[in-house]
Structures are given as structure tokens and as C-alpha cells.
A and B are shown apart, each in its own frame.
Chain A
Amino acid sequence: MSYVPDIHWGVMVIVLPLAGAVCCFLWPRRAVPLGLVTALGIVACVAGLGWQVVEQGAQRYAVGGWGAPLGIDLYADGLSLLMLMVAAVAGLGISVYSCGYFHRPDAKRDKAKHFWPLWMFLWAALNALFLSADIFNLYVTLELLGLAAVALVALAGGADALTGAMRYLLVSLLGSLFYLLGVALLYHGFGSVDITLLAERVEPSPVVWAAMGLMVTGLLLKTALFPLHFWLPSAHASAPAPVSALLSALVVKASFYILLRLWLEIFPFANAALAQLLGLLGAAAVLWGGFQALFQARLKMLIAYSTVAQLGYLFLAFPLANVIGWTGALYMLLSHAVAKTAMFMAAGNILYFGGHDRIVDLDRVVQRLPLTITAFALAGVSIMGLPPSGGFIAKWLLLEAAIRAAQWWWGGILILGGLLSAAWVFKVVGYAFTQSEVPHETRTVPASMEWTALVMAVVAILLGLFAPWPLALLEIGSPFGRENAG
């Protein structure tokens, strides 16, 4: 007996934000209520889908009734569901925050007018991506996602933002192009783009290696794995705060999700050397991103570099190749999404309040925004992986996986990365305790912006206490089933 109506929730989570985007575009004056209602609707639909998946197992929808290999299939297992939930939680927070951010008394109206349709469109692309069951659909959604993201970066205006957006656009197109070439090779070789069919047909051959190389490179570029991260800090730091949040929390995770799907389903035979290489690049990202973050002069740049570091953690699971490792990486993805959203929101508040985000001059700002600095500190606890927080659970799982796989050095990287994060978090938080009383001009931050940041940070902490629930979801449809346990 199910209390939830048995409708195609999976289709709803894509259609709803699309409809929201159209409505926000048509009635810009009503964009805030429309956007919020849509965001709540998406959360409800994801919950409905979650209920369905938990009750009935993994879901497959043949949109339009055609079915693979002709039609478009949507597929939802535990992994897709987790990603949709990440997007729903962070997306709801970002929507609420944007109400304050884009509708401040002194904000320019046209930015808000453009923000809402683009953001809803991006959300639709994101949800569609997490539900796609074939590699061509993944390409289409990835491209849509990239275009929406670039437009959002450019929203800030100014030379910095436009340069960042332009670079981001080129990288994004290049990454998609590489990926598309790989898709073409696979389609040519095996006559299908459906992931399940490909999983049965693909066998190691030079064509497959070439396709794999192209796709992995393209996706790494979009995920900004060291040393392909060069575009990320400027793009993420120059965007408006809610956009920075959604880029760091969600957009870079989408390409990681595709990579993970391909790796697990289509290329399970990928050799250990490549996995080790990904792990090494991840380790380099953790250390390089951490060091760079430590020496940044501006807060948003610092947070953007920390994203580079945190993305590195996700790749440490590849050489470990066990279920605990994958689970740890995904939990890292989840908690990073929430914590980083909170952190960019806090940075946005500080920037708006004092008109700058130069770290050395923060002392005059942070003392007067206690909620914001608390949000920053709590998010920082999760980012550096101290308990109790989602980051700690993720780090614990990865550490356990590293020791079980007898590759303890990845554990050492985890610890070093945590120490580096602690160093920069406390560098910033330390300013909250200075005695400086220099008055300077400030603007009042809307309470909704401060509270959203704090609520997101508290969620990041609570993820450390309620880990069994999301982890149980991940097992549905056993996305890691092909791997050997432990």
C-alpha cells in the first residue's frame, strides 16, 4: 500500500523546472514566487521519486512509450536519487538565498530577470542529466548545463566576470566536444548509446580505448581535476554568490557523475594504471588546491580553490575501487555540495556587507555578522572533515577504504588535505576574534541571506549524524554491484 501516487516522478522532476523557467521568463515580475514554488515543487517531486525508488527499487521510464534503443529512457537508481537529492537540497537553499540576493533594494532589476529563468533551466538540465540512461542524452544535458552555467557566470557583469565566463565557455565546449567524439566512436562501434546495452556489448579494443580516453579527458576538464582546473577559480569567484554556490556545489559534480557512471557500467575493465593516475591527479588537486587556498588574498578565490581541493578527494576512490571507497566519495560529494553552498553564501553576505572580500580586512566585517561567520565556521568544520559533520563521515569511509585496500598513502593525502583546510578555515575564522573596532561603511544584509547560509551549514553538520539514511539509499539498484565488495 503506497501513500504516494504512482505517477512518473522522474519525468516530473525535469518538466517542472522547465515549466518554471518558462514562467519566470514570461512573468519576470512574479519570478520570486514562481521560482520558490517551483523549487518546493521539485523538492516534493524528488521526495516522491525517492519514495517510489525505496518502495519499488530502481525505476526505468520509457518517455513517450518508445523504449531503448529507439526512444529516450530515464533511469533512477540509488545513485541518481542521491544526486537528485543533493541538487534538491542545495537548489532549495540557493533559491531562497537568491530571493534576498537579487532583490535587495539596490540590486539591478535586469539581473534578477535573467537569473531566475536561467537557474530553473540549469536545474532542469541537471535533473535530466542525473536521470539519463544513455550516453547521448548525457551529452545533450551536459551541454545545456554548461551553457546555462556560462550565462549565469556572465550575469555579474564587469571585466572579471566576462573573462571568467568566456574562458569557462571555451573550456565547457571543448570538454563536451571531447565527450561527444567518444560517444560517436562508441555508437559507431557498438550500434547503441544506451548504457545498459553498451555495458553488455563493449569489450576492450583500440576503439574503446580511444573513446574512453576522449570521454574521460573531456569530463575531467569539466570537473576541473588538477591540472585541468585552471578555469575554475576565476569563473567561480567572479560569479554572483548564489551562482558561485550552485557552480561549486552542483555543476562540477554533474560531469563527475557521468564519469562515475561510465567507469562503473561501460568501462569496468579500465586498467589499474589509469585508476592510479586519476587517484594521483586527485591527490595533487587536494594538495595544490589546499596550498593555493591558503595563500589567496580574496575570500571567494580562497573558497574556489578549496573546491579544486575537494574535487580531488572524489578521485581518490578510483584507485581504491571498493564499495566503501565509492560510498565515501559520494558522501564527500554530498557534504561538500551542502557545505560549499553555505560557504559561498557566507562569502556573499560578507562581500555585500562590507563591499569587499579582502581577507586581511575582514576583521571589521565578520564581527558584525555573527550568523554569517558561524555559518562559515560550521561549513568549514565539514570541509576540513572534523566530526561531527558530513565531511567527517566521508573522510572516515575513504580512510577505511584506503586501509582496507592496503593503499594507506591515499589516507595520508586525506589527512594532509584536512590539515590544509583547517589552516585556511581558521585563518579566516580567526578574524572574528580580533579587537578591531574601526568603523566603516556597511550595508545591511537581509536576514534571509544570513539564515539560509546558517541553515545550509547546519545541514552539513547534521549530515554527520544521519549518515545511515543517505547511505542506505545508495545501495538501491546496487550501482556499485559490479565491483567486488571490500
Chain B
Amino acid sequence: MSWDSALPLFVLASSLLPGLVIFFLPEERVAIRTTLNLAGAVLKLALVGVMIWGVFHGSHYETRLPLLPGLDLLLRADSLSMLFVVLSSVLWLVTTVYAVGYLEGSPNRSRFFGFFSLCVTATIGVALAGNLVTFLLFYELLTLATYPLIVHRGTDEARRAGRTYLIYTIAGGALLLIGTAWLYTLSGTLAFTARGFLSGLDESHNGVLVVIFVLLIAGLGVKAALIPLHGWLPQAMVAAAPVSALLHAVAVVKAGAFGIVRVVYDVYGLQFSASLGVTLPLAIVAAVTIIYGSMRALFQDDLKRRLAFSTVSQVAYIVLGITIVGPLAAVGGLVHLVHQGVMKITLFFCAGNLAETLGIHNVSEMNGVGRRMPWTMVAFTVAAFGMIGTPPLAGFVSKWYLGLGALDGGQGWVIFVLAGSSLLNAAYFLPILYAAWFKAPPDAWLAERSFGGRETAWALLAPPLVTAFLTLALGLLASAPFSPLQWARFITRLEYTP
């Protein structure tokens, strides 16, 4: 096995092996566990760096293991997968630091970090999957690896949330399985191909292909939390903050959204999907999800719940971007895959800090919190403005391209969706910021923990500051080489040039 064919496997192993070792570590071996976690995360980042360099210079990294006669387990680094791989590995490192700080002294940490690593392995597998069956394999693995994280605390509420999560995702996985197997019997191949591999099929299959498309999108839409399949996400926010952060920014919802991109681009092909007439209905579902998620967010007092509904809304941007048939909108959708992740993870880190340090869980308890925890709230403010779409932050770049793309593709109605959503975003984020910065703090916080002279522990404060800085940098340096925006353009060129 040469280096080129082993690299994707190494990228997977860099989180899988530490995870497996961690399961067997005794609870009190904190130093070894943390070292393993961080070493894995850093190693993965290094390997991914090598991989990007290679992909950019035309290398092909491909691992192929026979799964069944005629069907391979295929891991491949192409431009689209790199976008997601980089996002996952960067945010994994940050989240690991955060989780180490957050869970300090709590029980069952070996179990937690074991599943945490499995969860990232599954996400990387989803990103690197080179065909639909490999994708399915890691997609289901992700379901299984996330469940223990959601129920980790073991409260009745957590177990209820875990059950809801399973009901949704296992049913979704079943739909995806049916769709995939059916597709395989029609086409005889499942390998992701630029501009799809189905357009060559006989036209008499078109009706069936639409049904399969619906099955696949429904299966993926569960994780991407598209309306009406989003019910599990707001409940799952009972999980610990690092889990919510990972769930909302990288792992689960993104795997769903990424899968939809794969199906539309590399299974059906955008032009063929459009000719089947399935892109417009999907765009409408995405638009409804955007507005509905924002409306629901408006009325949540629980901070994490508000953020969860915001995720429902924001992830649908990605789907909207790729279903408006046009290169500019596609750039906007793809780049939002990264931008939403960076911004949302910041917000969840901050929410976790508020809960850990001051016992604050609700928006109504946040009066004057900016004075007590200025750095946390600075990070929160940057990310919130990014979500609203204020220039020059990352969220602005996504929305700008989405808007341009909508006009370019002759779908003017999308502009209203975007504008309406931005207004709603402002309506549910600005009151938080106002309360935090301008209202008087209460006499005593709900459950304050002291961290010496600092506002909170370093491991809790550094990650949101880093990701908030990224939110700013991704907006300011959007045109720099190797920025997500440039990479998204690179991918889009592949999809649109004949």
C-alpha cells in the first residue's frame, strides 16, 4: 500500500486509534487521556495539511477496500471532501481543548472522550467517502457514536433526548439505505462523480429516480434538520456544551447537509437534478426551514434552545445555496458549510461558558453579563453579528454570494427569504447583546464559580476566542488563497464547467 493510498486511512486512524485506547484508560489517567486526544487532533491536522497540499497539486489520495463483490469501501480526497475535512479537523482540535476544560472532574470521562473521538472519525469518514455506500456506513456510525454523547449525563431528560434522536436518525438511516440499495440496482455503481453518474440512464427510469431522490434527501434531511424532520435537534441540546458545539457545527447536522450536497452534485448532478424538477421543491423546503427556524428561535428563552433553532435555520442556507441552480449561489452555500460551523461553535462555547461559570441557561438571566465575562461576550457578539450577516464577518460573505446567486439564477424570491431571515436573526440576537452589554447585572449570579482573577478557565475561554477570530478572518481574508471562499469557487468551477 503506497503513501497515496494510505493517507486517507491514516487521517481516519489519527482519531480512531486514540479513541479506542481511551475507552480502556482508567478514569483517573487524565494526563495520558488529554495527551492522546490532543496528539490525535494535532496529528490529524498535520496529515490533512499534507493532503490539501497534495490535492491542490494534483495528487490523488484514494483508499479502496473491497466491501462486497463489485462494491468498494472507498475513501477519497477530492476538493469537496477537503472542505469538510479541514473544517472538522480544525474544529475538533478546538473542541477537544474546550471539552477537556469543560468536563474537568466530571465522571465517565474516558467513555466520553472515546465516543468523542469515534464521532469525529465518523465525520471524517463521511467527508472522505468516495461512494454512497461508504458514505452510508460512516453516516450510520455517526448516529451510533453520537448517541452516547447526547445521553452522557444520564438524566431522564438526556435519555429522552437520546431516544428522540435515535428514532429520527435511525429511521432516516433506513430511508437512506433503501434509496442507496435501489440506486445501486439501477446504476450498478455508487462512486461519486463530478456532475453525477445518473444522467446516462434510460429516461424511463426518471420517475423512479425522483422517488429515490426523495428517499435520499429525506434520510439526509433528518440529520440536516430540514423541516419537518428537525424535531430532534432542539431536544438534543440537553447534551453537554462541547457536544452541542460539535453536533451543531461539525458532526451531525453538517454530515446531513454535506450529504445533500453530495447527492445533488456527485450522484445526480446539478443539471440532471434540475431537469428532473427536484431542485426547486428542495429549495422551497430549505427556504421554509430558514424562516421557520428563525421564527421559533425568536421565542426561546433557553439560550441553547434558541441557538438550536438558529442552527435549523442556518444549515438550510447550505441546501438553499446548492439548489438555486447557479454558480454564485453554489459558492455561497458551500462556503456557508464552513462559515456556519465556525460561527455556531463560537456561540455554543460561549453558552457553555455562561452555564459553567455563572449558572446562566436562559436569555432572561443574561443582564449585564458582559461586565462579568467580557471576553466570552466579545466572542459571542462577533459570532452573533456574523450570523446576522454584518460585513465584514464570515456570515456576510455567505449571504452576499447567496443573494447574488439568486438574482443571477433568476430566483428573486430568495432575496426576500434572505432579507427576512437576516431581520429575524437580528431580532433574536440583538436583544441578547443589548441585555448583556447595557443592562445592569444582578446582585448575585445564579451559581458562580471562581477562577481566580480570570473570568473563567483558560481552556474554556481560548476556544471561543480562536473561533471568533476565525469568524472575523474568514470574512476579511475571504479572497486570500486557500480561504474557504476560494476553495468553494474551485469546487463550483468543477461542477459548472462542461
Question: Is B truly associated with A?
Answer: yes
Query: Which residues on A are within 8 Å of B, measured CB to CB?
Result: 370, 381, 386-388, 392-393, 395-397, 399-400, 403-404, 411, 415, 418-419, 422, 426, 430, 433-435, 465, 467-468, 471
Tell me the smallest distance from the CB of B116 to a CB of chain A, in Å: 15
**Any A CB within 8 A of the CB of B230:** no
Q: Are A465 and B163 in contact (CB under 8 A)?
A: no
Seed contacts A387-B141, A422-B170; 4 additional CB < 8 Å A-B pairs = A399-B177, A426-B166, A430-B151, A430-B163
Tell me the smallest distance from the CB of A119 to a CB of chain B, in Å: 32
Known: A433-B152, A433-B159. A471 touches B144 (CB 8 A): no
Tell me the smallest distance from the CB of A320 to a CB of chain B, in Å: 13
Known: A399-B178, A400-B181. A465 touches B173 (CB 8 A): no
Query: Which residues on B are within 8 Å of A, measured CB to CB?
Result: 65-69, 73, 111, 133, 136-137, 140-141, 143-144, 147-148, 151-155, 158-159, 162-163, 166, 170-171, 173-174, 177-178, 181-182, 184-185
Tell me the smallest distance from the CB of A166 to a CB of chain B, in Å: 40
Q: Are B163 and A426 in contact (CB under 8 A)?
A: yes
Q: Are B68 and A465 in contact (CB under 8 A)?
A: no
Q: Are A381 and B144 in contact (CB under 8 A)?
A: yes
Tell me the smallest distance from the CB of B154 to a CB of chain A, in Å: 4
Q: For the complex, give the distance between the alpha carbons of A96 and B296 in Å.
A: 57
B141 surroundings in chain A (CB, below 8 A)? 387-388
A435 surroundings in chain B (CB, below 8 A)? 153-155
Q: Would you give 6 A-B contacts (Cβ < 8 Å), ordered by A?
A: A415-B174, A419-B174, A435-B153, A467-B68, A468-B66, A468-B68
A467 surroundings in chain B (CB, below 8 A)? 67-68
Q: For the complex, give the distance between the alpha carbons of A259 and B274 in Å.
A: 51
Tell me the smallest distance from the CB of A241 to a CB of chain B, in Å: 24
B144 surroundings in chain A (CB, below 8 A)? 381, 386
Chain B, interface SS category: helix
* Closest A residue, CB atoms, query B134: A387
Q: For the complex, give the distance between the alpha carbons of A433 and B184 in Å.
A: 38
B163 surroundings in chain A (CB, below 8 A)? 426, 430
Q: Are B185 and A404 in contact (CB under 8 A)?
A: yes
Q: Are A471 and B68 in contact (CB under 8 A)?
A: yes
A370 surroundings in chain B (CB, below 8 A)? 111
Known: A415-B174, A433-B154. A471 touches B69 (CB 8 A): yes
A387 surroundings in chain B (CB, below 8 A)? 136-137, 140-141
Q: For the complex, give the distance between the alpha carbons of A435 and B163 in Å.
A: 16
Q: For the complex, give the distance between the alpha carbons of A433 and B158 in Å.
A: 9
Q: For the complex, give the distance between the alpha carbons of A468 and B173 in Å.
A: 24
Tell me the smallest distance from the CB of A132 to a CB of chain B, in Å: 29
**8 tightest A-B CB contacts, nearest first:** A387-B137, A435-B154, A433-B151, A399-B181, A403-B185, A468-B66, A433-B154, A415-B174
A397 surroundings in chain B (CB, below 8 A)? 68
* Closest A residue, CB atoms, query B68: A467
Tell me the smallest distance from the CB of A69 to a CB of chain B, in Å: 38
B171 surroundings in chain A (CB, below 8 A)? 419
B162 surroundings in chain A (CB, below 8 A)? 430, 433
Q: Are A418 and B151 in contact (CB under 8 A)?
A: no
Most chain A Cβ neighbours within 10 Å, of B136, B141, B154, B173:
B154
Known: A415-B174, A418-B174. A465 touches B151 (CB 8 A): no
Tell me the smallest distance from the CB of B266 to a CB of chain A, in Å: 20
Q: For the complex, give the distance between the alpha carbons of A387 and B141 in Å.
A: 7
Q: Are B170 and A419 in contact (CB under 8 A)?
A: yes
A471 surroundings in chain B (CB, below 8 A)? 68-69
Q: Are A465 and B159 in contact (CB under 8 A)?
A: no
B184 surroundings in chain A (CB, below 8 A)? 400
Known: A399-B177, A468-B69. A422 touches B154 (CB 8 A): no
Known: A403-B181, A403-B185, A411-B178. A388 touches B137 (CB 8 A): yes
Tell me the smallest distance from the CB of A77 to a CB of chain B, in Å: 19
Pick from B69, B136, B152, B177: contact of A415, CB under 8 Å: B177
Tell me the smallest distance from the CB of A84 to a CB of chain B, in Å: 22
Q: For the complex, give the distance between the alpha carbons of A178 and B65 in Å.
A: 47
Q: For the complex, give the distance between the alpha carbons of A418 and B141 in Å.
A: 15
B170 surroundings in chain A (CB, below 8 A)? 386, 419, 422
Q: For the complex, give the distance between the alpha carbons of A426 and B151 in Å.
A: 12
B166 surroundings in chain A (CB, below 8 A)? 422, 426
Tell me the smallest distance from the CB of B371 to a CB of chain A, in Å: 36
Q: For the complex, give the distance between the alpha carbons of A435 and B143 in Å.
A: 22
Tell me the smallest distance from the CB of A159 to a CB of chain B, in Å: 37
Tell me the smallest distance from the CB of B75 to a CB of chain A, in Å: 13
B174 surroundings in chain A (CB, below 8 A)? 415, 418-419
Tell me the smallest distance from the CB of B171 to a CB of chain A, in Å: 7
A400 surroundings in chain B (CB, below 8 A)? 181, 184-185
Tell me the smallest distance from the CB of A478 to a CB of chain B, in Å: 15
Tell me the smallest distance from the CB of B18 to a CB of chain A, in Å: 17
B147 surroundings in chain A (CB, below 8 A)? 426
Tell me the smallest distance from the CB of B255 to a CB of chain A, in Å: 14
Most chain A Cβ neighbours within 10 Å, of B65, B69, B158:
B69
Q: Are A434 and B68 in contact (CB under 8 A)?
A: no
Q: For the complex, give the distance between the alpha carbons of A396 and B185 in Å.
A: 11
Tell me the smallest distance from the CB of A424 to a CB of chain B, in Å: 12
Most chain A Cβ neighbours within 10 Å, of B133, B143, B177, B184:
B177
Q: For the complex, give the distance between the alpha carbons of A363 and B330 in Å.
A: 49
* Closest B residue, CB atoms, query A431: B159
A419 surroundings in chain B (CB, below 8 A)? 170-171, 174
Q: Are B68 and A393 in contact (CB under 8 A)?
A: yes
